[in-house]
Structure 1
Amino acid sequence: MDLFRRSCCIFRPLACRRWPDLTFYRFSGHNKWSKIKQRKESADIRRSKVIAKLVREIRAAVREGGADVNHNLQLASLVSRAQEMDIPKATIQTAIGNAAGGRGEGEKMMVEARGQTGYALLIETVTDNKQRTRYEIQRILVKNGGTVREQGSSLYSFAPKGVITINGNDIGQNTEPFEVGIEVGAEDVSVEVTEKENIVQFLCEANQLKKMKENIESTGLQTKSVALVYVPQNTVDLSSTETEKAVKLIDALDDHNDVVNIFDNIAKGNNS
């Protein structure tokens, strides 16, 4: 069985720097390994965990950038994702209101780490106790051959980027996604086509995210999600055995209640 059997992804480089191993980004519990993991828990339990993490992210976003979705792009993106998951509006508004009123705990913390074979990990968390969360993540890493690293030791392997997702079906039949990318100022474009969906993602510099969102919407296209991600500047090749161990580690980290996003620099598609 091919461990990396994935949906059809097409990458169109624009007239700009090509980021190595540009991947297709999913958020809030849907890390890039989700299609190859065999979950023991039910879909309902998994959904509950994802919702809980998303609500914590919303609270943290309010504390960092305020409760106005018109001026807090990260909050607007999280609210959009919550709506896509059919999370009740009252639940979303309660999370925003509690955070704006100083109720409820949790703030973001990035843990930098290395896997057993040297690949880099950025583990984004929302926690009410940084010391506890860092200790628990360290235990997961050590158990799976990884280590927590000093601040900056793994971050240098990534570049902060903005990524905007749209419905590919909204693009006219006579227009290519990469043409839209050039028009809106994207650095790169990725397309995922499956039996169920046609999704296009545009990549840009992190500080250009708001501007590119405005450019996309000025063309009449609607954004599905807007997010900040970390794109690897270099990647690490793993064997099939090493990949299985890496998946086990990332799976264990993803199961931690405080972990909301995981970024790695593992090369994809060459581990049969």
Structure 2
Amino acid sequence: MSGHSKWNNIKRKKEKTDGQKAKIFTKIGRELAMAVREGGSGDPAVNSRLKDAIAKAKANNVPNDNIDRIIKKASGEGNSDAYEAIQYEGYGPSGVAVIVETLTDNRNRTAGDLRHYFDKFGGNLGTTGCVSFMFQKKGVIVIEAEGLDEDEVMEAALEAGASDFQSDGDVFEIFTEPEDFSAIRDELAGKYTFVSADVEQVPDTYTAITDPDLIVKMGRLLEMLEDNDDVQSVWHNWENADDAE
């Protein structure tokens, strides 16, 4: 998910099957558990990371019962689920920059899987820092434009503290500094329904792929990465990602 391809990726994800939705629930469950452990509390009122994770879970239609059960389990004594957050970086076909954020209980398994995917589809897994300098962390809130006045939404976003606002006709994209994301999201949530709201890795520049075979390979690489249970998020600077839809 990134830049010009953001909305196309959202539309594709909305059409996922029930089996794929179960994978999303699994990934968000890990994120909730990690937030409880690292934030030191199962109370979102005092654990801002957990508050953000709960908001993300609800945006992805995770049932409240599931959320509560995961938080209680993660808060309990003797919880053995110990996930580690590891970021991997690499290049896809035509030098497309790719960042993969993972939560894993076995770093050797995860690294082996990711290396296999990159190799199989014409890319290569690189070293830490090889592409992350080409991205900036930003809060990104996406709102469907239909029925809304662009000037009013932009004014509300900027008044809430947003750093930038863009419109592509279908959606409004609101950008924030990472540290301001939660407060701005909470303020706008009372006024608008979000398509998505998350802190993302936004690329500074984009790479286009013109070879049809490489377009297919890049699309398959992203699919394999996103289908892996250890992978939480995949960010890239592929300009024409919508060609693979």
Band of TM-score, shorter chain: 0.7 to 0.9
CA 1:64 to 1:201, structure 2 compared with 1: closer, same or farther past 3 Å?
farther
1:227 equivalenced with 2:198 (yes/no) = yes
How far the C-alpha of 1:22 sits from its partner, in A, is 3.2
Residue 93 of structure 1: SS of its match in structure 2? Answer: helix
CA 1:94 to 1:166, structure 2 compared with 1: closer, same or farther past 3 Å?
same
1:50 equivalenced with 2:27 (yes/no) = no
1:69 paired residue number = 44
1:60 paired residue number = 34
1:89 equivalenced with 2:64 (yes/no) = yes
Aligned counterparts of 1:174 and 1:147: Cα–Cα separation in 2:
42
How far the C-alpha of 1:98 sits from its partner, in A, is 2.1
Please, what TM-score do these two structures have when normalized by structure 2?
Answer: 0.81
2:224 aligned residue (239, 249, 252) = 252
2:92 paired residue number = 115
How do 1:101-112 and structure 2 match up within 5 A? 101=76, 103=79, 104-112=81-89
Alignment check: 8 A CA contact 2:5 2:239 kept: no
How far the C-alpha of 1:252 sits from its partner, in A, is 1.1
1:212 paired residue number = 184
1:178 paired residue number = 154
Letter in 2 for 1:163: V
How far the C-alpha of 1:136 sits from its partner, in A, is 1.1
Deviations along 1:74-93, one digit per CA (max 9) or x if unpaired, are 42233233334443322211
Q: Percent identity?
A: 26
How far the C-alpha of 1:169 sits from its partner, in A, is 7.2
2:3 aligned residue (22, 30, 40) = 22
CA 1:270 to 1:253, structure 2 compared with 1: closer, same or farther past 3 Å?
closer
1:12 paired residue number = none
Instruction: Show structure 2 runs of 5+ residues with no match.
Output: none
Residue 164 of structure 1: SS of its match in structure 2? Answer: strand
2:164 paired residue number = 188
Deviations along 1:185-206, one digit per CA (max 9) or x if unpaired, are 2122245766xxxx64421111
Instruction: Show structure 1 runs of 5+ residues with no match.
Output: 1-20
1:160 equivalenced with 2:141 (yes/no) = no
Q: Which has the higher helix share?
A: 2
Residue 94 of structure 2: SS of its match in structure 1? Answer: coil
Residue 208 of structure 1: SS of its match in structure 2? Answer: helix
CA 1:240 to 1:201, structure 2 compared with 1: closer, same or farther past 3 Å?
same
Letter in 1 for 2:162: A
Aligned counterparts of 1:53 and 1:144: Cα–Cα separation in 2:
24
1:202 aligned residue (174, 179, 185) = 174
Aligned-CA RMSD value: 3.3
Equivalences, count: 238
Alignment check: 8 A CA contact 1:111 1:122 kept: yes
Deviations along 1:16-72, one digit per CA (max 9) or x if unpaired, are xxxxx734758xxxx9276299x9xx8221121111111111112222224232343
How far the C-alpha of 1:107 sits from its partner, in A, is 2.5
How do 1:125-164 and structure 2 match up within 5 A? 125-164=102-141
Letter in 2 for 1:61: A
Aligned counterparts of 2:91 and 2:55: Cα–Cα separation in 1:
32
